[in-house]
Structure 1
Amino acid sequence: MRKSIFSWMISALILILSPNFALAQTAFPDHGRVLEVKVPAPALKGNLVGTLSVQNIAIYLPPSYDLSKDSRYPVIYLLHGIFDDYGVWVENFDVPKILDRLIASDEIPELIVVMPNGGNRYGGGFYRNSPVTGNWADYIADDLVAYVDKEFRTVANTAARAIMGHSMGGYGALNLAIKRSDVFSVVWALSPCCLVPEEDLSFGNDAWRRAAAIENTEDLRKLLEDRDFYPIALLGIVTAFSPDLHAAPIYGDFPFDIVRGEIALDGEVLDRYLDQFPVRQIRGSRESLRGLRGLGMSVGLDDQFLHIPSGTLEFSQELGKERVPHRLDVYDGDHRELVEERLERTAFPWVAERLALTE
């Protein structure tokens, strides 16, 4: 008996003194790491608002990534809101720490999270294809996904790929769910903007007149310098939803004229404009939406942007009419204050549960 105890102690001492012991001790680190890299974006070439065709992204790699060289991981693409960049996820909403906690507690599997930039001079391209602002949907679904699958150890198939976003990014996630379900199989939109053109997004908002009053590059320069939020954001919407290559300097086709100071709607342009909003696109996309592994949304009833709660509820109702399975979480809160909590308690676990973990 004494001999076996002594032998065990010697073996333990050899293990501790072994050069491989440090590796054994660090085999399960308790946090991931974030890389910042540049990604070619050929889909954005030729845009008219000066957006670069090489884009910055941040990418979260899970704790075992550097030590488990044969492991592959599902991927979540996380889209930010208007006038933000990926720093909002890393610095404001603490996404890396949220992921570390969820992985450490086994609430989600280890996964990769990709956080691209989606901004431009008007606050953002709304992750849509536009000849004016660039083909943002193609950049995310084609350029970026191909880059990530090539450069990182991903589970490179649709079933292992999700798209999420907040505000403009929530709109972008739903837009990509509608248009690119061949790439993304799970979707979650937090407080998605721009699902329906009503409330503060309607033509009753005087900011439409200020946006439409831009006549030359000097007017545009002054508006951008003044940082007048709504008119600039509406220029972003017009150039993404209703682009016009012949309408300098905005290159957007406003669905109205100003007649004696009042808005007079242009029926033909208005129909084309309204058809770009997701609530009108559900019926034509219902089969692909039904095929998703998961579609979820969350919205705070006290959102400062009044079209967001009403638009999210209307979008959910239309999904229901077309028998598209989905989850809707409604809570007391405004546009930004509970984003971290909703990500940690609901969105990340729900999305991760629906992702395939292997090829």
Structure 2
Amino acid sequence: MLPWSSPLAGRFEELVVDSAALRGNPLGDPHERPLLVYLPPGYDEDEAKRYPTVYVAQGYTGHIAMWWNRVPFRTPYPELADAMFARGEAPPAIVVYFDAWTSLGGSQFLDSPGTGQYHTYLCDEVVPFVDGRFRTLAARDHRAITGKSSGGYGAMVTAMLRPDVFGALATHAGDALFDVCHRAEFPRCARQLRDRAGGSYETFLEEFRQRSIPREGDIELLEMYAYAAAYSAEPDGRVLMPFDANGQVVPEVWQRWLACDPVVMAGQEQYAEALRSMRGIWIDAGRRDEYYLDLGASAFLDRVLAAGVQQQQVYFELFDAGHGGIEYRYPLALAWLCERLQG
């Protein structure tokens, strides 16, 4: 736990993906995106050996440089993962840290006219880019996606939407059970929007973009808008909010959000079939999660099992923690996934 970086047993390659899918996106965000690819110990010694691949999705406001953020007495995840491979606690794998940040703070890893084609970018551009440059086992049974919070959401929905690309997933406190984790926030957001921007998101966004440092409450309002941009944007890019000026639900917009809820999706046969095809599904959360994503995890587990996924395909745990500071859980899921991606 030194306050500076430790020597790595494996190594990283830093690349840039020039994305056709993100070119001309509605937010004007860059279409050239950074990519970090971790190559495990031994990768350079045996030029014939191929490896399974695990893709890592970040939570809301996450961007790729933040993987190296270092706080006292804690080790960044890339170093935790490298140490795990160095100790031989998991079969070696290539780990891909990709970027899906937007100027709203996140994309939810979906295609949306409000943010851009981030689902297409990941599945149809980033994955082939990595397979074309590194010695991967280039098949869905040897490829997984993992993430925490909004990244956990991305892991769940991406695996359900594209089981041809990903054959396993891990979600740490992923956004799920929207009735519980999101709906209760609507009155709070409506009140803040009223008091700070006259009830207008357009006013709030204009003022936010002019500030050099976010004010208290900015990120909470921006986060809700970012979700709406992902879940309920119109074809022309106009973003519809799921609540009115009094914080009451707008039913027709809320239904669009619910259609994106992993718990709701898992109850539909097309996605249930995708879940049944997974080689492994890891679900965990802190039992004191401030956003009640422990309840979302339990609800997703219930739907996964109801879909016919065999118990031996699933790992589930509620552990003693809140929402933050759970990076020590990520290598546990990574090792579990790597075991299931072999062969």
What is the TM-score when the length of structure 1 is the normalising length? 0.82
Q: Confirm or deny: 8 A CA contact 2:53 2:137 kept in the other structure.
A: yes
Equivalenced residue count is 319
CA distance in 2, matches of 1:254, 1:343: 33
CA distance in 1, matches of 2:253, 2:181: 20
Q: Confirm or deny: 8 A CA contact 2:275 2:307 kept in the other structure.
A: no
CA distance in 2, matches of 1:283, 1:194: 13
Distance 1:205 1:57, change over 3 A: farther
- The answer for the alignment partner of 1:274 in structure 2 is 258
**Counterpart of 2:28 in 1: which secondary structure?**
coil
- Deviation of the 1:30 alpha carbon: 7.1
Q: Confirm or deny: 8 A CA contact 1:196 1:277 kept in the other structure.
A: yes
Which amino acid in the other structure matches residue 64 of structure 1?
A: G
- The answer for the alignment partner of 1:328 in structure 2 is 316
- Deviation of the 1:303 alpha carbon: 1.9
Structure 2, unmatched stretches of 5+, are 1-6
Which amino acid in the other structure matches residue 221 of structure 1?
A: E
CA distance in 1, matches of 2:143, 2:182: 33
- The answer for the alignment partner of 1:66 in structure 2 is 44
1:133-144 pair list within 5 angstroms: 133-144=115-126
CA distance in 1, matches of 2:139, 2:205: 43
Confirm whether residue 40 of structure 1 aligns to residue 27 of structure 2.
no
- The answer for the alignment partner of 2:108 in structure 1 is 126
> 67, 83, 92: which one pairs with 1:110?
92
- The answer for the alignment partner of 2:188 in structure 1 is 206
Which amino acid in the other structure matches residue 134 of structure 2?
A: F
> 217, 221, 233: which one pairs with 1:243?
233
1:151-300 pair list within 5 angstroms: 151-199=133-181, 201-210=183-192, 213-214=199-200, 216=202, 218-224=203-209, 225=211, 226-227=214-215, 228-246=218-236, 251-258=238-245, 262-284=246-268, 285-300=271-286
> 53, 59, 70: which one pairs with 2:31?
53
What is the TM-score when the length of structure 2 is the normalising length? 0.86
Distance 1:154 1:179, change over 3 A: same
Identity among equivalent pairs (%) = 29
- The answer for the alignment partner of 2:3 in structure 1 is none
Q: Which moved more, 1:87-96 or 1:129-138?
A: 87-96
Which amino acid in the other structure matches residue 214 of structure 1?
A: S
Structure 1, unmatched stretches of 5+, are 1-28
CA distance in 2, matches of 1:46, 1:191: 32
Q: Confirm or deny: 8 A CA contact 2:110 2:117 kept in the other structure.
A: yes
- Deviation of the 1:199 alpha carbon: 4.3
**Counterpart of 1:44 in 2: which secondary structure?**
coil
CA distance in 1, matches of 2:158, 2:301: 16
- The answer for the alignment partner of 1:80 in structure 2 is 58
Q: Which moved more, 1:85-94 or 1:320-329?
A: 85-94
**Counterpart of 1:36 in 2: which secondary structure?**
strand
Q: Confirm or deny: 8 A CA contact 1:80 1:88 kept in the other structure.
A: no
